Amino acid sequence: MAIAFDTRELQEESQQDELWLISYADMLTLLIGFFVLIIASVPLTRARFERIAAALTGARQAPLEDLRDKVDALVARTPELKDKVKTRDDAEGLGIEFRDALLFDSGSANLRDQAQPAIAEIARLLGELPGRPVIIEGHTDEVPINTASFHSNWELSSQRAINVLQALHTSGVARERMSARAYADTRPLPSAAEKDVEQRRASNRRVVIRVE
């Protein structure tokens, strides 16, 4: 005796079982599109891309994170650098921030002798990432300056950035990797706003070696 099967019912059940795959695929497509829009709306620097890639792939930390750890270790084992050198991650890369008191006398752009070993050590670490652009930023506080050498904070911050650039070059960093920027008092640190006047000014007087 032959047994008859209704193949149409089997096909309909199979199609119904697979309908959830269509909804699931649609949801994944929407999520991918959403993340693409988010990434596209934010400038994707090399540093940001490396951080995203490391997080998504589970790979070892990005090169700039490795550099940050080495600079932090240098500061930790060097008492003269404690509270005078800090590292900051941002969208542009890694900032190695030097308080001006470590590098310069008040109102001067000449590097102090005590600053040379720290600059040389940072240059050595930068040599481990030879392909990365390095920007040296000069910053001051808001107190005006008008001396025989500097008629404004723009001139002071510019010359300080240039002198640090030259010191890095002397210590082995290729000239074509570097550029200097002067900001005077136009970019105060947000974290310094809650401090008293003298502490705020001391925090804002700085030179930043930024690695992109």
Confidence at residue 104, expressed as pLDDT on a 0 to 100 scale: 95
Comparison of pLDDT for 90 and 145, the residue scoring more: 145
User: Can you name the residues that pair with 182 across neighbouring β-strands?
Assistant: 138
Residue ranges per structural domain of the chain: 7-57, 63-211
Q: What's the alpha-carbon Rg for the chain, to the nearest Å?
A: 27
Percent of the chain having pLDDT more than 70?
76
pLDDT in tens, 138-178: 999 999 999 999 999 999 999 999 999 999 999 999 999 99
Between β-strands 178-184 and 93-99, what pairing exists: parallel, antiparallel or unpaired?
unpaired
- At the top level of CATH, the class of 63-211 is alpha beta
What pLDDT band is residue 51 in, cutting at 50, 70 and 90? low
Question: 100-121 as b/e, with b when 16 or more CB fall inside 10 Å?
Answer: bebbbeeebbebeeebeebbeb
pTM of the model as a whole:
0.74
- Sign of the Cα pseudo-torsion (73, 77, 81, 83, in order): positive
Confidence at residue 139, expressed as pLDDT on a 0 to 100 scale: 97
Query: 62 near 51, Cβ under 8 Å?
Result: yes
Average confidence (pLDDT) over 181-193: 90
Q: Identify the three-state secondary structure at position 110.
A: coil
Average confidence (pLDDT) over 132-137: 96
Checking if the pLDDT of 90 tops 90, the result is no
Query: 207 near 164, Cβ under 8 Å?
Result: yes
Q: Nearest 5°: phi and psi at 112?
A: -75, 150
Confidence at residue 86, expressed as pLDDT on a 0 to 100 scale: 95
Query: 44 near 93, Cβ under 8 Å?
Result: no
